[in-house]
Amino acid sequence: MNKTKIKQAFVCGFPIAHSKSPIIHNYWLKQNNIAGSYEKIAVESENFNAFIIELQQNGFTGGNVTLPHKEAAFQQVQKLDEVAQKIGAVNTLWYENDILYGGNTDAYGFTANLDQYCEDWSKNADQKTAMVIGAGGACRAILYALLERGFSKIILANRTLKTAQKLADEFSDKILPINLEETSSHISSVDFLVNTTSLGMYEDDALPVDIKNIKSTAVVTDIVYTPLKTKLLKQAEAMNLKTIDGLGMLLHQAVPGFEKWFGVRPQVNQELRNLVLAELK
């Protein structure tokens, strides 16, 4: 059993140097006067299982799991929460009665960010159409969140149609899988648009989708936060659409983990956002 008084948490992944999670959790530890720690740990894939087995004896109360271990963590925890079960990936670990639990807070982070900056984004969702660009790992949490909020239709556009089709089969018959090239013929019906691909991170990236015919009331968001204003968000802004950047998702997804490990539900405030923003520059 762990006899350490200070509660210790971590984020593990490979590579891990870029992770902003320590900034977030160390800010909250300080703000709430909690004697705890949160550190980055580089764990390569072949060492992940051993790392998990030794977690508790190494004094950890829990932590975050990031790429490439989210699916391995899903396989290895003793219990999964309902959300992780559905998403098929774990990003948060904690112990309850010495049992290792795995949860997924990405869907929560996504909706909490939108709720913070655009209260009405999912109002009357049962009459709204969402479009999701990309069908990779990151997209699963987004689909979960949109279905939870009750969107009547979700158009899932991907370069590889088959991947989108698989997700539609797995998640819901509300999802219409289409090819990226077909987005233009659907865009005029879209109330909510989210990019889950890495397109837009680099200057010479193509736009993931042409939005010139999107509804003037549409809300546009991107889960990429480097740069904060992706090409898609810039274009949406130029069209006077409501836009929300992806940084808030990173901040909000950290909330449930901190609460589980350190017993206090932390606040996402402007000071924290500025702190992380400064590190992105």
Check 20, 40, 70, 231 and give the catalytic one: 70
Using rule CB under 6 A, residue 159 touches ligand ATR: yes
Q: Return the percent helix, strand and coil in the chain, to nearest 5.
A: 40, 20, 40
Q: Which is nearer to ligand ATR, 29 or 168 (CB)?
A: 168
DSSP 51-78: HHHTTTTTTEEEEEE-TT-HHHHHHH-S
3-state SS string for 159-183: CCHHHHHHHHHHHCCCEEEEEHHHH
Q: How far is the CB of 256 from ligand ATR (least distance, A)?
A: 21
Ramachandran bin of 223, using left for φ above 0, alpha for ψ from -120 to 50, beta for the remaining angles? alpha
Question: In this chain, which stretch among 22-30, 136-144, 224-232, 250-258 interacts with ligand ATR, using CB under 6 A?
Answer: 136-144
In the list 2, 49, 163, 172, the residue contacting ligand ATR (rule: CB under 6 A) is 163
Provide the residue type at 144 as one letter.
Y
Question: In this chain, which stretch among 32-40, 84-92, 132-140, 256-264 interacts with ligand ATR, using CB under 6 A?
Answer: 132-140
Question: In this chain, which stretch among 32-40, 42-50, 131-139, 144-152 interacts with ligand ATR, using CB under 6 A?
Answer: 131-139
Tell how many helices (H) and how many strands (E) occur in the chain. 11, 12
Q: Which tokens sit at 33? A: 């006067």
Using rule CB under 6 A, residue 160 touches ligand ATR: yes
Q: Which is nearer to ligand ATR, 2 or 163 (CB)?
A: 163
- For residue 70, indicate whether it is catalytic: yes
In the list 77, 87, 135, 157, the residue contacting ligand ATR (rule: CB under 6 A) is 135
* Cα three-residue angle 253-200-212, rounded to 5 degrees: 105
Using rule CB under 6 A, residue 197 touches ligand ATR: yes
Q: Computed over its alpha carbons, how large is the radius of gyration of the chain?
A: 19
Using rule CB under 6 A, residue 85 touches ligand ATR: no
Q: Which tokens sit at 232? A: 């898609």
How many C-beta atoms lie closer than 10 Å to residue 14's C-beta?
A: 16
In the list 59, 68, 137, 227, the residue contacting ligand ATR (rule: CB under 6 A) is 137
208 prior amide bond cis, ω within 30: no
Question: In this chain, which stretch among 27-35, 111-119, 144-152, 197-205 interacts with ligand ATR, using CB under 6 A?
Answer: 197-205
Using rule CB under 6 A, residue 158 touches ligand ATR: yes
Using rule CB under 6 A, residue 15 touches ligand ATR: no
Catalytic center residues: 70
Residues forming the site for ligand ATR (CB under 6 A):
134-138, 158-160, 163, 197-199
